Amino acid sequence: MSEPVRLSRRVAELAGCSRADAESYIEGGWVLVNGVVIEAPQHMVSDERVELDPDAVLEPPQPATILFHKPVGVDAISGRTEAVGLVTPATRWADDPTGMRLLQRHFIRLTPLVPLDRDASGLMVLSQDGRVWRRLTEDADQIEQEYVVEVSGDIAPYGLHRLNNGGLRFQGRELAPCKVSWQNEIRLRFAIKAVRPGQLQDMCAQVGLDVVAIRRIRIGKIPLAKMPVGAWRYLPVGEKF
* Cβ proximity of 96 and 236 under 8 Å: no
> Within 13 Å of residue 54, how many CA atoms lie on the same side as its CB?
0
**In which residue ranges of the chain is CATH 3.10.290.10 found?**
5-52
The topology under which CATH files domain 5-52 is: 3.10.290
Strands (E), 9-49: 31-33, 36-37, 44-45
Tell me the pLDDT band of 237, cut-offs 50, 70 and 90: confident
Q: Report pLDDT digits (tens) over 190-234.
A: 999 999 999 999 999 999 999 999 999 999 999 999 999 999 999
8-state DSSP, 151: E
Rounded to an integer, what is the distance from CA 12 to the centroid of its chain? Answer: 35
What pLDDT score was predicted for residue 1?
A: 64
Range from 40-49, 51-60, 68-77 that averages highest in pLDDT: 68-77
CA distances from 51 to 34, 38, 54, 229 (A): 8, 10, 9, 37
Architecture of domain 65-141+222-234: 2-Layer Sandwich (3.30)
**In which residue ranges of the chain is CATH 3.30.70.1560 found?**
144-219
What pLDDT score was predicted for residue 35?
A: 87
Tell me the pLDDT band of 148, cut-offs 50, 70 and 90: very high
At 149 the three-state DSSP class reads: strand
**In which residue ranges of the chain is CATH 3.30.70.580 found?**
65-141+222-234
Rounded mean pLDDT of 73-80? 90
Rounded mean pLDDT of 45-70? 90
* Cβ proximity of 112 and 125 under 8 Å: yes
Q: Which residues face 125 on adjacent strands?
A: 67, 113
What pLDDT score was predicted for residue 209?
A: 98
Task: Answer yes or no: is pLDDT of 104 > 70.
Answer: yes
Distance CA 32, CA 30 (A): 7
* Cβ proximity of 125 and 114 under 8 Å: yes
Architecture of domain 144-219: 2-Layer Sandwich (3.30)
Closest by Cα among 64, 182, 67 to 116: 67
Least confident of 28-37, 123-132, 217-226: 28-37
Distance CA 15, CA 220 (A): 44
Rounded mean pLDDT of 125-129? 97
Neighbour tally for 51: CB within 10 Å: 16
Neighbour tally for 190: CB within 10 Å: 24
